[in-house]
Every structure is written in structure tokens, then in C-alpha cells.
Amino acid sequence: MLNIALPKGRLGEKVYALLSSIGYDCKEWDPDNRKLVFSDEAKGVSYFWVKPSDVAIYVELGAADLGVVGKDILLEYSPDVYELSDLKMGKCRMAVAAKKDFIDDTERPLKVATKFTHIARSYYAGIGREIRVIKLNGSIELAPILGLSDVIVDIVETGTTLKENNLEVKEEIVPISTRLIANKAAYRFKKEGIDRLRSLLETKL
């Protein structure tokens, strides 16, 4: 059996559709009920429906052999897993944004609000800018509006959230997309099955 952790929600459903199109469909699959595990013994596959930010933990600790996760999570938490393929979905970018009229005063530390504290710290360390990180858990765009921070480091997809809050991208940090990851031990013991799934998947990308 291959155990696969999928991110709950639209992205997970898209990935399931892709896996199902290459033969990893699951008779029980029904993301609309409250079940969290869907198995199909005949197909040799079991899906776990996991909160997106938890997928990497399930895979790193071996509860799942494979998982589907955003590059943002891999950069932020550096889980000890293999990154097998870029699924070229969920494309967005990690960026610095601020109010349109924001001017950086380099005489003092920059106040940065973000969920992604590690990404923010390494980006600013790389350009030699001293910062103060304000860790938030959501609605990050509010921080510069209320003067809680000077800038934010956050995911920008369509740019609508920034636009509707009169903010704009100031610097792009890194492009983000969805990746297929594998548990390291599982990759050794189930190499044949995992490589097969991966190469079938890559023909569809």
C-alpha cells in the first residue's frame, strides 16, 4: 500500500483527480463527508485528508509515504523529506508587500509581519537588512494598514487581496508551487511503487 497525505481542499481534490487519472483512484473517495482516510486495497492506495500545513509532518514522521505540499512550507520548515516532483499547481509567489507610499527608513530595523518567519529572516539576512519580525497567523495584510508593521512577507497569488487593501508588491522573494514529497525510509522500502507513481504523474505535467 502507498499512503498518501493530501491537502484538504480544492488543491487536494485537483491532485486526487490527477492521481486518479493515472490509475490511483479510490472507490471510497468522497471528500464531502467527514471521513479522513480513504483506502482502496485493490489499487494499493490509501489517502489521508490532512490540513495543508500539516502534510509535511505526516510525511517526515512516516505516517504517510507520500504527500503533496506547497514549496512555501518546505522553505519555512525544512522537513527532512525527499522532494520528488514539481506538480506545477498552486502557483504563487512569496513577496514583500507594503502600502503604495511606503518609504524604507534604513536607519531603523524594518518591522515585518508574516506567518513565514524563517523565510523572512533568511531573505533579509541575505540582503543585510536588520528586521523585527511580528509573527501573525492570518489576515497578514492588516498589519501595515494598522501600522503594526512596515511591510509583510506573504503569499501573493492573484494579487487581489493586496489590491483591495491598497498594498502592493515591493520585492519578489521566491516563486512557489506544489511539490510531491516522500518519506525517506519509505522511499527506500517502497522505491519501485513510488517511482512508478512519480513517473506516471510526470507524464501528465
Q: Residues interacting with ligand PRP, by CB under 6 A?
A: 138-141, 154-161
Residue 59: closest CA among 36, 28, 95, 83: 83
Residue 15: closest CA among 85, 83, 65, 87: 87
Closest to ligand PRP by CB, 139 or 199:
139
Closest to ligand PRP by CB, 106 or 158:
158
Residue 155: closest CA among 133, 132, 178: 178
CB of 163 to ligand PRP, least distance (A): 8
Within 10 A of 123 (CB to CB), how many other CB atoms are there?
A: 21
Query: Rounded to whole angstroms, how far apart are CA atoms 186 and 3?
Result: 10
Q: Are strands 82-86 and 178-182 parallel, antiparallel or unpaired?
A: antiparallel
Closest to ligand PRP by CB, 2 or 136:
136
Closest to ligand PRP by CB, 65 or 144:
144
